[in-house]
């Protein structure tokens, strides 16, 4: 196969999205306090997650902030976050006034390790953030058994499931992102979903300047901010709910093909999903990279060589244990090792399909064969 043309993300807009956008434009009701599109989308999305309630927000970070505040996390509290995740998992905790404490991830799946969480839990720990890394749900049951509220950071996991239960209904409250790189997107946006009515009302009030549902416009019984989504965003998002499963299936077929093709490439292996994953949404296919199998090339050189072959892989996260405002009660050797030993194939590349994944493996084989010149 010749060099694949990697698809851009998001996919081209549909007629349905154009019509939905224009309906909002022409209605003159652009904000969620005037229209009904956001409310309808919030309910539809929450149902898709097996949760009764949803509150749309300006982005995923503030969705996490709202969930944490609604759980009562604030100054003086700590929230445990995995050391290998997007930085917003931790900055949302800081935004809420609490201290993020990094716990290490498991060697095999790179997901939050319940044993590492137990080791950093102290008297100030208020909640645990379970990140569904790359689109595969974390072991929320094991994390819940530690006795603390669990916030699902499902920013990468729209449509994921664990033991048949959808992401969004696994913890006490869950947050998704609709930022431009995510599986469903409106450019920016986020949502909090929960099955807990009281928690929902707190989130709703916090995101709507302290108002209460059914209360007056200038009645602010609680503290809150304007963190509302616009009707334009919800108009773009609604139609994507119908296409979500097809997109996931497409990426899952590509990920299967990639795993198969990498069988013939020593030193490059797919990182497995946590056992119990029944729906992996493949926001990322994470690959373990062994420099020893590639002539001792450090990861940066491997990435450059792959890019020269037309395969733009990603380097991935730095460990949060190295971030100054993140507390680390214990070392995080697994997350730190992942900085050198893990590379990513991102969602838009997986959308290119199965033949393109064979090309990725061929490119890696070619890089492997080539002598290192220094």
Q: Which residues bind ligand PLP (CB under 6 A)?
A: 59-61, 85-86, 88-89, 131, 153, 155-156, 177, 179, 190
Q: How far apart are CA 326 and CA 303, in angstroms?
A: 28
**Residue whose CB is nearest to ligand PLP in the complex, by number:** 60
**Residue with Cβ nearer ligand PLP (80 or 364):** 80
Upstream peptide bond of 10 is cis (omega within 30 degrees of 0): yes
**Residue with Cβ nearer ligand PLP (225 or 365):** 225
- The owner of tokens 């690959």 is 287
Going along the chain, which residue ranges are E strands?
A: 53-57, 78-82, 99-103, 125-131, 150-153, 161-162, 165-166, 173-177, 190-194, 268-270, 277-279, 284-289, 342-346
**Residue with Cβ nearer ligand PLP (85 or 240):** 85
**Residue with Cβ nearer ligand PLP (23 or 322):** 322
Residue 312 CB-half CA count within 13 A: 10
In this structure, how many other beta carbons lie within 10 angstroms of the beta carbon of residue 77? 18
Supply the minimum distance, in Å, between the C-beta of residue 156 and ligand PLP: 5
Spacing of C-alpha 214 from chain mean position: 33
**End-to-end CA gap in the chain:** 30
Rounded to 5 degrees, what angle do the CA atoms 316, 322, 327 make? 125
Supply the minimum distance, in Å, between the C-beta of residue 1 and ligand PLP: 31
In this structure, how many other beta carbons lie within 10 angstroms of the beta carbon of residue 58? 19
- The owner of tokens 């997350």 is 335
Task: Quickly list H helices, 168-298.
Answer: 197-207, 231-237, 240-262
In sequence order, what DSSP letters do the residues of 116-146 get, joined into one string? HHHHH--TTEEEEEEE-GGG----HHHHHTT
The pair of three-digit structure tokens given for residue 108, joined into one six-digit string: 């095999």
**Residue with Cβ nearer ligand PLP (140 or 265):** 140
Supply the minimum distance, in Å, between the C-beta of residue 220 and ligand PLP: 25
**Residue with Cβ nearer ligand PLP (155 or 343):** 155
**Residue with Cβ nearer ligand PLP (321 or 361):** 321
**Residue with Cβ nearer ligand PLP (9 or 368):** 9
Supply the minimum distance, in Å, between the C-beta of residue 178 and ligand PLP: 7
Supply the minimum distance, in Å, between the C-beta of residue 68 and ligand PLP: 12
Supply the minimum distance, in Å, between the C-beta of residue 183 and ligand PLP: 10
Supply the minimum distance, in Å, between the C-beta of residue 219 and ligand PLP: 29
Supply the minimum distance, in Å, between the C-beta of residue 185 and ligand PLP: 9
């Amino acid at each position: 196969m010749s060099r694949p043309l990697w698809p851009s993300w998001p996919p081209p807009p549909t007629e349905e999205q154009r019509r939905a956008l224009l309906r909002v434009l022409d209605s003159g009701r652009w904000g969620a306090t005037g229209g009904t599109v956001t409310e309808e989308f919030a309910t539809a999305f929450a149902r898709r997650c097996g949760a009764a309630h949803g509150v749309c927000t300006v982005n995923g970070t503030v969705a996490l902030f709202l969930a944490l505040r609604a759980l009562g996390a604030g100054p003086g509290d700590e929230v445990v976050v995995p050391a290998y995740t997007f930085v917003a998992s931790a900055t949302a905790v800081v935004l809420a006034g609490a201290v993020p404490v990094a716990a290490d991830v498991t060697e095999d799946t790179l997901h939050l390790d319940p044993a590492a969480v137990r080791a950093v839990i102290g008297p100030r720990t208020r909640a645990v953030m379970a990140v569904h890394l790359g689109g595969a749900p974390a072991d929320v049951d094991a994390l819940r058994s530690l006795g603390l509220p669990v916030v699902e950071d499902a920013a990468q996991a729209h449509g994921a499931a664990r033991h048949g239960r959808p992401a969004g209904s696994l913890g006490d409250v869950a947050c998704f992102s609709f930022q431009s790189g995510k599986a469903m997107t409106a450019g920016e946006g986020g949502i909090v979903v929960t099955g807990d009515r009281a928690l929902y009302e707190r989130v709703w009030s916090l995101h709507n300047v302290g108002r209460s549902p059914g209360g007056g416009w200038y009645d602010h019984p609680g503290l809150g901010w304007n963190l509302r989504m616009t009707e334009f965003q919800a108009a773009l998002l609604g139609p994507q709910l119908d296409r979500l499963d097809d997109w996931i299936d497409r990426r899952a077929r590509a990920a299967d093909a990639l795993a198969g093709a990498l069988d013939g490439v020593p030193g490059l292996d797919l990182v497995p999903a946590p056992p119990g994953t029944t729906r992996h949404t493949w926001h990322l296919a994470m690959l373990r990279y062994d420099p020893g199998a590639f002539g001792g090339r450090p990861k940066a050189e491997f990435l450059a060589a792959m890019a020269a072959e037309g395969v733009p892989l990603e380097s991935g996260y730095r460990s949060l244990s190295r971030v100054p405002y993140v507390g680390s009660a214990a070392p995080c050797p697994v997350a730190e090792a992942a900085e050198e030993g893990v590379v990513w194939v991102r969602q838009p590349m997986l959308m290119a399909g199965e033949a393109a994944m064979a090309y990725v493996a061929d490119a890696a084989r070619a890089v492997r064969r080539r002598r290192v010149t220094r």
